[in-house]
Structure 1
Amino acid sequence: MAAEEQEEQEEGGKRPQFGNRQLRDPSRVFQHNAWDNVEWSNEQESAAYQKVQENSSQLVPPEKQEEYESKANGFWDAFYTIHENRFFKDRHWLFTEFPELASPSGGRRCPDGHVTEGGTGGDAHPKEVQAEICRGLRDMGLGEGAFPGETASYRIMEVGCGVGNTVFPILQNNPDPGLFVYGCDFSSTAVELVKSNPHYDPSRCLAFVHDLSDERASYPMPEQSLDVIVLIFVLSAVLPNKMQSAVSRLSRLLKPGGSLLLRDYGRYDMAQLRFKKGRCLSDNFYVRGDGTRVYFFTQDELGVLFTSAGLETVQNVADRRLQVNRGKQLTMYRVWIQCKYRKPRDAAQQGNRAP
């Protein structure tokens, strides 16, 4: 999770769902912290394009680019070492925008702990086939205790969990004993901060170090085992040429009917326009002063990534927002993209192999 995300937070309370705060009277601009669906004029769009052309005209030298890649984990460790828990802020918008993060209640379990009736997490099965399912799981080596969270009825994983800004709100807001939450991050420092949090409960969650872009790195759960995967301001930190393989591997972890939820930086976001010459790595991909990197997406780019991984579109919207600093009387234009993609329910019959 990158530093600019702090600017997204509200001053207090659960914010209205995206799209509900319309600025109809410009004289009222400082009455709220942010306004949704702000229309950009042709002049503003053109100015943003020109700014990007300027700040990307001088690329970071190849040898420095290699250094940013080889030392990426060190840069993120340093980031969390500096910020530690001071960086933690609740994401008040989580459950408004992503109700999928509230796990379904109920559901009976077979002796191995697998849900057999009730619930809607994708594990539910008619009672008459429960024994066969459990036998099959045991034959595959997936009996009770085969992987952390194996007996849970609803499993959520956040990739790029940082210090727990999503993991802990989910655990605190949902006491369902059938819920298990995984959180992984590239930074070992961030993962240690999660584990040292007083709300960290190994019986309900697992934090682990993982490099999303490393094709050799394995996950601690089998394919088709997750109900929800969350990517919040993290895919943008991956090298563009490694994004597709990373998304395809995540897709294989989802159960048929499972969801992938994303929120990330959009093209011409204020953060992109603020970069100076010499910070651009490649088209729309930059390095910050602290060595961490960020890409700025279009909706179409994300659509191609997810549909190529065998997922179907539920939502893909641009959140063009006017943020307001009422104290300094400043306005800031942000562009984020919010996506929801679902694995088809017939994916199990297709072998669950994304392209």
Structure 2
Amino acid sequence: MATGPDSDDDKRLKFGNRLLTDPQNVFQHNAWDNVVWDEEQEAAAKKITEKQLECLAQPEKKEEYESKADEFWNTFYSQHQNRFFKDRHWLFTEFPELYGRKDCDDNNDSNDSLCKPQDGENTSGSNTTVSSPQQSSGELDESCLSTAVDKKCSLVDGATAPCDDYPVNFLEVGCGVGNTVFPLLNTNKNPNLMVYCCDFSSTAIQILKEHPDHDQKRCCAFVLDITEENPEVPFPTESLDIIIMIFVLSAVCPEKMQAAVNRLASYLKPGGTILFRDYGRYDMAQLRFKQGRCLSENFYVRGDGTRVYFFTQGELRNMFLKAGLLEKENLVDRRLQVNRGRQLKMYRVWIQCKYIKPVNPVS
């Protein structure tokens, strides 16, 4: 799936650090964190969404948006190419796990430090057979078909994360044209890093592969529908250290979300992490939808045929826990963005999560 629009500043403090203490100063900065909504504002937002539900899109149109979803995203990327989204350098602020480490000192006892694999740990890789890619999913580079060596480093809290001396496998779901992939490849200097990246749009993947920074030795891009029951992927189960999901699950039909999350969780190594950020309930984008754009409760179609859902923390918590993952972080980022020139206030709501696959799952 392709991702939704980015409106975050490229360079910023980790969210939660810029607080509006004096309303008179609201236009001194472009954005303020953790802007608390009062009951009146919450009620007004809920009333808008209830009104949207009174005029749903026609059933035949809903079916068209589902059956032709890939065509709508292909059209989107054919029109915008690589000019629509900004490169997501801010991801390294919110998700420092993406940096990796230049040193893995066994004597470093910091709670956030990484250490080398324990003696006797498996280094031979999984014996799971990697299925050959389907022709309908687009052409895969030969480098995509190699099975990565399964080495990892342990965190104090029982999770795992990569050391720069050992092979590391990342997957970005909904990579679009590479606005996360290329900053990641250019920032994380681990020579053994392999970034798998997939998108619903074959057009987006083709644009990504034509990018001058695309390196087949460190990047494997392929077309994938994450709602497909038995998708062909270029890696075995339990082989990924990190899965990145940025404004992607919201593009999936709500009835198919849980199965998609379950499937993605099966690709994580024990101790592997899902890094997630997406739209929250009553975000400005939700409240701006006109009549006839609502497909179902909190699920909408944009004018270009692409779709978007707006989550609550509880919905996401339930999905990830049902997939057998443990919660490390589930935060609401309520941000007040302002247009200082036009003196406008724009209330954004995003949800940011980190979920970990347990090393020793409870039977």
TM-score, normalised on structure 2? Answer: 0.85
> 2:155 maps to which residue?
none
Task: Say whether the 8 Å CA contact 1:272–1:296 is kept in structure 2.
Answer: yes
Task: Say whether the 8 Å CA contact 1:229–1:259 is kept in structure 2.
Answer: yes
- Counterpart of 2:175 (choices 161, 169, 172) is 161
Aligned pair in 2 of structure 1 residues 92, 31: CA closer, same or farther (>3 Å)?
A: farther
> 1:25 maps to which residue?
22
How many aligned positions are there?
A: 327
> 2:249 maps to which residue?
235
For residue 4 of structure 1, report the CA deviation from its aligned partner.
5.7
Task: Say whether the 8 Å CA contact 2:53–2:296 is kept in structure 1.
Answer: yes
> Residue deviations 1:258-291, cap 9 Å, x none?
1001100000000110011111111100111100
Q: Map 1:109-120 onto structure 2 (within 5 A).
A: 120=114
Q: Which amino acid aligns with 1:41?
A: D
- Counterpart of 2:69 (choices 56, 69, 72) is 72
Task: Say whether the 8 Å CA contact 1:323–1:333 is kept in structure 2.
Answer: yes
- Distance (whole Å) between structure 2 residues aligned to residue 253 and residue 4 of structure 1: 24
Q: Which amino acid aligns with 2:81?
A: E
Aligned pair in 2 of structure 1 residues 140, 163: CA closer, same or farther (>3 Å)?
A: closer
- Counterpart of 2:148 (choices 144, 150, 162) is 150
> 2:136 maps to which residue?
none
- Distance (whole Å) between structure 1 residues aligned to residue 312 and residue 221 of structure 2: 31
Q: Please state whether the residue corresponding to 2:300 is helix, strand or coil.
A: strand
Q: Which amino acid aligns with 1:155?
A: N
For residue 125 of structure 1, report the CA deviation from its aligned partner.
4.1
Aligned pair in 2 of structure 1 residues 309, 31: CA closer, same or farther (>3 Å)?
A: same
> 2:44 maps to which residue?
47
For residue 54 of structure 1, report the CA deviation from its aligned partner.
0.7
For residue 253 of structure 1, report the CA deviation from its aligned partner.
0.5
Task: Say whether the 8 Å CA contact 2:3–2:251 is kept in structure 1.
Answer: no
TM-score, normalised on structure 1? Answer: 0.87
For residue 195 of structure 1, report the CA deviation from its aligned partner.
0.3
Structure 2 unpaired stretches of 5+: 105-112, 131-142, 150-165
**Identity fraction in percent:** 57
- Distance (whole Å) between structure 2 residues aligned to residue 3 and residue 232 of structure 1: 7
- Counterpart of 1:253 (choices 247, 259, 267) is 267
Please identify, of 68-77 and 210-219, the stretch whose mean Cα deviation from structure 2 is larger.
210-219
Q: Which amino acid aligns with 1:97?
A: E
- Distance (whole Å) between structure 2 residues aligned to residue 330 and residue 2 of structure 1: 29
- Counterpart of 1:63 (choices 57, 60, 63) is 60
> Residue deviations 1:119-176, cap 9 Å, x none?
959x9342x555xx52x74x6558xx89346146111111000111111111001121
> Residue deviations 1:295-321, cap 9 Å, x none?
000000000000000000000011111
> Residue deviations 1:11-67, cap 9 Å, x none?
x5x200010010011121111111000011111111000000111211111111111
Q: Please state whether the residue corresponding to 1:5 is helix, strand or coil.
A: coil
Q: Please state whether the residue corresponding to 1:54 is helix, strand or coil.
A: helix
Structure 1 unpaired stretches of 5+: 108-118, 351-355
- Distance (whole Å) between structure 2 residues aligned to residue 198 and residue 129 of structure 1: 38
Root mean square deviation of aligned Cα: 2.2
- Distance (whole Å) between structure 1 residues aligned to residue 246 and residue 240 of structure 2: 17
Task: Say whether the 8 Å CA contact 2:280–2:350 is kept in structure 1.
Answer: yes
Aligned pair in 2 of structure 1 residues 234, 3: CA closer, same or farther (>3 Å)?
A: closer
Q: Map 1:232-311 onto structure 2 (within 5 A).
A: 232-311=246-325
- Distance (whole Å) between structure 1 residues aligned to residue 346 and residue 103 of structure 2: 44
- Distance (whole Å) between structure 1 residues aligned to residue 3 and residue 223 of structure 2: 20
Q: Indicate whether 1:90 and 2:104 are aligned.
A: no
Q: Please state whether the residue corresponding to 1:219 is helix, strand or coil.
A: coil
Task: Say whether the 8 Å CA contact 1:9–1:92 is kept in structure 2.
Answer: no
Higher relative contact order (CA 8 A, sep 6+): 2
> 1:99 maps to which residue?
96
> 1:113 maps to which residue?
none
Q: Indicate whether 1:226 and 2:240 are aligned.
A: yes
- Distance (whole Å) between structure 1 residues aligned to residue 5 and residue 59 of structure 2: 28
Q: Please state whether the residue corresponding to 2:171 is helix, strand or coil.
A: strand
**Higher helix fraction (1 or 2):** 1
Task: Say whether the 8 Å CA contact 2:89–2:180 is kept in structure 1.
Answer: no
